Structure 1
């Protein structure tokens, strides 16, 4: 998706139930990622929705975002927190990490949340079977931080992943391919609220 279209999509979807936005633009020069991030912050800040930058701690700090999401093989969360607090003492980041196994989940300390996937088959991982609900449940039980499920997430699957122990969901293709991002976000939000209510989650 083109950067301009991404900013437009987020602007349309954000008021309808997004809790946070992760900026993931692999392959673009740092200057372009920074410009997109600053544009997104202008959209999200009035709505009090945090922006997290994928993997690039330097760009997250440069654009004054709310935090960073680290790859499973990326920078240590402990190091990321130390570097962040040197520049923002007393203002810790929202810090996420991608995990793909119980071992990675157990090792991931100093994080705000984890993302586990892909749970179901998804167009962004063509040819690779989903890791499944039992694996999600195992990771959610073992992790020391809330786990968000990603991969093939749609409103009709939300109850399944929350029932398996996920604290929430993360989506990409679901929104980027939606004809109407606002309505798609509303549908996902309703499904989440219903699943949380059914499970007794706060």
Structure 2
């Protein structure tokens, strides 16, 4: 008898007579909730994201306030030109290499949706969101979220998302902590996340 067989045998003996896994997983938890845009803002702010609530006509001016004049901004091919201020240099992603993306001062994307209860923004690779690498390499991510793309709960989000698309779930800027709980931002993504929340139409 091998050590593996011995360990597995002890596990089986310890679990014998215990509760059995149900044939069907119960899914009677709450799927929907009351949508509260203020809750989304509060959660994002808790995660150290910067939230700007503006009308769609003010997106370019807001980005001009966020990104310094003369900065280089990477954008996916589907980002509307009206979002981009004339004060920045725009690099449209037509297959840019990682070095050029990483050297950019910021990236501007849209969003598939956002979840109010968790303060999460979801990208799905649509034309206004682009490849996943765009939201990971630049130091500053500016993400434009439409109010009618905000849902209350994660189950609502999952029901609206297409599972085979490359989903990126973002809750604040990239951050990690060591064993002493020293927070370090920007290790595996942007150090600064700005969410521009567009007013409901």
Q: Under TM normalisation by the shorter chain, which class is it? A: 0.3 to 0.5
Structure with the larger helix share: 1
Structure with the larger strand share: 2
TM-score normalized by structure 2?
0.34
Higher relative contact order, chain-length normalized (CA < 8 Å, sep 6+) = 2
